[in-house]
Amino acid sequence: EAGVAQSPRYKIIEKRQSVAFWCNPISGHATLYWYQQILGQGPKLLIQFQNNGVVDDSQLPKDRFSAERLKGVDSTLKIQPAKLEDSAVYLCASSSQVFEQYFGPGTRLTVT
């Protein structure tokens, strides 16, 4: 079966610009997660969707980050405006009922 797809793989932007990341989960997986992984750290959950509803966005900086999951499948994560500290790898994961999470390759964001 196809894995979790993410694009783009790499993105370089200047601070105060905006950027968007896309994720396509494994077919049939109802739960979708966005994580932020800063260099040398473990991933940190930003937002969790169950179908197209938000389950947890407690660690999402809502003044600059937004995410949506239309029709309960694909998802987009947006940052506007970006700051230097947003430089990280953004990982998308999906899971079915057994809660084992499967991760995509990630998008490496560099903010200059």
Partner 1 sequence: KQEVTQIPAALSVPEGENLVLNCSFTDSAIYNLQWFRQDPGKGLTSLLLIQSSQREQTSGRLNASLDKSSGRSTLYIAASQPGDSATYLCAVGAAGANSKLTFGKGITLSVRP
- What does the binding site for partner 1 look like in residue numbers (CB under 8 A)? 4, 6, 31, 33, 40-45, 48, 55-56, 91, 93, 95, 98-106, 108
Q: Are 11 and 107 in contact (CB under 8 A)?
A: yes
- Which residue in the block uniquely carries the two structure tokens 């389950």? 55
- Per DSSP (E only), the strands in the chain are 5-7, 10-13, 19-24, 31-37, 44-50, 53-56, 65-68, 75-79, 88-95, 102-103, 107-111
CB of 102 to partner 1, least distance (A): 6
Report in angstroms how near the CB of residue 25 gets to partner 1 at its nearest: 13
If the CB atoms of residues 81 and 105 are measured against partner 1, the closer one turns out to be: 105
CB of 55 to partner 1, least distance (A): 6
Nearer to partner 1, 78 or 108 (CB): 108
